[in-house]
Amino acid sequence: MLGNSLSILINRLVQSLTTFALVAAIARLLGPYELGQYLLAFGYYYIFMSIASQGLKVLFTRELSRNLEEVQLYLINGTLLQLFASLISYGILVITVFLLPYNSDTSTACYILGLMVVPFSLSNVTEAIFQAQERMYLITLSTVPVYILRLLVIIWIMQQGYTINLVSAILVLSEIFILVLQWGLLIQKINLERQINWSFMRRSIKAARTFFAIEAIAVLKDRMQLLILSLIGGEIVVGLYGAVMQLMQPFEIIAHSLALAIFPRMNKIVAAEPEKLRDLVEGVIEILLSVALPLIIGLFFLGRDLLVFVYGNPSFADADTALKIVALALVASSLMKPLSLALVASGFERINLREVSVTTSIGGLISIVLVTAYQLTGAAITALLMQLIACGQYVYPVHRRLFPIRFWHVLRYPMLASIWTLCVFLILQRITQDLLITMLTATSLYCLLIMTLSIYAFGGLNAVKAKLRRSL
C-alpha cells in the first residue's frame, strides 16, 4: 500500500500544486474577475465530468480488483461506454450554460473548458485499470510531466496578454495527450481485437446506477456554492471563494491519495478478512486528523496574511473570515472519506446515496438563504454545516452496520499534534511577524513531531532500524 500511496500522493501533489499555482497566477496576472471566470468554467467542467465518469470509475475499480483477468473487456467496452456518457454530459453542459444569464465571455470560457469532460472521462477508465492492478506509478508517470509542462506554458501565454479562453484550450489539449499516453502504456500487453460487448455495457450501466447518482449529487453538493455565488454575487465573489477553497488543497491531496490507495485494499479485506477493516479505516482517520487539526490552527493564525501573500492582492484579505469557517469543516472531512469508502466496499453504497441526497437538499436551501444574505461568508457557513450533516450520516451507519469507531484511539496523536502546533504558533507570534519564517518553522517542528510519533508507533528507534535492515 505504501508504494501505491506514494505514487498517488506524488500525482495528487503535483496536480494540486500546479492547479494552485495556476489559480494564483491567474489572480496575479489577470485579476479577480478572470479568476472567477476560470473557476466557474472549471466548476461546470468538474460537475459534468464527475456525473459522466466517476460512477463508472468506482464500479470498474471495484470489479477489476476482484477480476483482473477481465482488463481487456473493461478497457475496450468501458471506454466506449464512457465516450457515450461524456459526449452526452458535455451537450448538457453547453445547454445549461447557454440558458443561464452569464456574460458572453464567461459562457465561452465554460464551453471551451467543458470540452475537457471527454478526454478526462476516458482517462478515468485507464486509471481505474491501473488502480485495480495496483500499478498507480503508471498514473504518475503519464500525468506529472504534463501537469508541470502545461503550467509553464499557460503562465507564459498569460504573460503575453492572452485570456482565459486560450488557457482553457491548453488544458483540454493536455488532457487529450495524457489519455494517449495512458492508452499507450496499456495496449502494450493487451489484445485489442476483442469485439464490442453490448451486454457488458448494459450490465455496467445497471450496476453503476447507484454510483452515478452518488457522484452526481455529491459533486452538486461540493460545487453548489460556486454556482449559487456566480448567479447572486458574480465572478469576483466566485474568485474570492475559489481562492479560499484552494488553500484547502494540502489536506485534499492527502485525503484523496489515501482514498485511492486504500480502496482496492478495502475491497479485498471485506471479501477475505472483514475484521481488519476497522483497523484500516481508523488508521486513515488518524492520519487525516493529524493533518487537519494542525492545519486549522495554522490558518487561524496566518489566514489573512497567507491570502494576500499567495494571490498578490490586498482585496483577497476580505476572504479571511470565510477561510477560517471553511477550515473547521476539515475535521468532518477526515471522517467522511474513509467511512464512505468502507460502506461502498461493504456493499452499502445506497447509504452514500442517501447521504449526498439529504445533504444536498438541505444544503441547497441553507445556501440560498445564507448566500443571499451574506454572500461569501454565507457560502462558507453553508459549507461547514453541510460537512457536519454529512459526517453524522456516515458515523451512525458505520457504527450500526460495520463496527464502532474507537474515537479515543484515533484522536490521541492528532490532539497531541494540535497542542504542539498551537504552542509553536503562540511562541512564534511573540518572536517574529514574518510570514515565511513562521510557516517554515512551524512546518519543520510539526514534521519533527510526526516523525517522532511515527518512530514511537513502530516500537522505537531500534525497531525502525531493524525493519530497515530487513528491507535492505
Cell of 24: 494564483
Distance in angstroms (rounded) separating the CA atoms of residues 21 and 244: 14
Cell of 430: 511573540
Residue 101 near residue 152 (C-beta atoms within 8 A): no
* CA dihedral of residues 164, 327, 215, 187 (deg, nearest 10): 60
Backbone angles phi, psi at 459, to 5 degrees: 110, 10
Residue 328 near residue 297 (C-beta atoms within 8 A): no
Instruction: Give the pLDDT score at 4.
Output: 60
Cell of 261: 490507495
pLDDT band per the 50, 70, 90 thresholds, residue 468:
low
The model's pLDDT over 93-103, given as tens digits with 9 standing for 90+, comes to: 999 999 998 98
Cell of 254: 492527502
- Please identify which residue in the block is written with the cell numbers 485494499: 265
**SS3 label, residue 304:** helix
Instruction: Give the pLDDT score at 412.
Output: 87
- Please identify which residue in the block is written with the cell numbers 504552542: 423
- Please identify which residue in the block is written with the cell numbers 453503476: 208
Instruction: Give the pLDDT score at 274.
Output: 62
Q: Is the dihedral of CA 397, 398, 399, 400 positive or negative?
A: positive
Residue 249 near residue 12 (C-beta atoms within 8 A): no
Distance in angstroms (rounded) separating the CA atoms of residues 235 and 220: 19
The model's pLDDT over 64-91, given as tens digits with 9 standing for 90+, comes to: 767 666 777 777 888 888 898 899 999 9
Backbone angles phi, psi at 406, to 5 degrees: -85, 90
DSSP letters of 208-232? THHHHHHHHHHHHHHHHHHHHHHHH
The model's pLDDT over 7-37, given as tens digits with 9 standing for 90+, comes to: 766 777 788 788 889 998 998 888 888 989 9
Distance in angstroms (rounded) separating the CA atoms of residues 319 and 317: 5
Instruction: Give the pLDDT score at 326.
Output: 93
Q: Say which amino acid occupies 137.
A: Y
Q: Say which amino acid occupies 426.
A: L
Residue 279 near residue 285 (C-beta atoms within 8 A): no
Residue 124 near residue 56 (C-beta atoms within 8 A): yes
Give the HSE-up count for residue 356: Cα atoms under 13 Å, Cβ half-sphere.
Answer: 21
- What is the separation of C-alpha 68 from the centre of its chain, rounded to a whole number of angstroms? 26
* Residues in Cβ contact with 127 at an 8 Å cutoff, skipping those fewer than 6 apart: 57, 139, 182
Residue 77 near residue 48 (C-beta atoms within 8 A): no
CB atoms within 10 A of CB 162: 15
Distance in angstroms (rounded) separating the CA atoms of residues 14 and 249: 11
Report DSSP state, residue 194: P
Q: What is the mean pLDDT of residues 34-51?
A: 90
The model's pLDDT over 245-292, given as tens digits with 9 standing for 90+, comes to: 888 877 887 777 777 677 777 777 776 666 678 888 888 888 889 889
Q: Say which amino acid occupies 263.
A: F
195 exposure class (CB count in 10 Å sphere: 0-12, 13-18, 19+): exposed
Cell of 155: 503562465
**SS3 label, residue 433:** coil
The model's pLDDT over 149-158, given as tens digits with 9 standing for 90+, comes to: 999 999 999 9
- What is the separation of C-alpha 281 from the centre of its chain, rounded to a whole number of angstroms? 18
- What is the separation of C-alpha 343 from the centre of its chain, rounded to a whole number of angstroms? 19
Distance in angstroms (rounded) separating the CA atoms of residues 135 and 128: 10
The model's pLDDT over 216-242, given as tens digits with 9 standing for 90+, comes to: 777 777 787 788 888 888 888 888 898
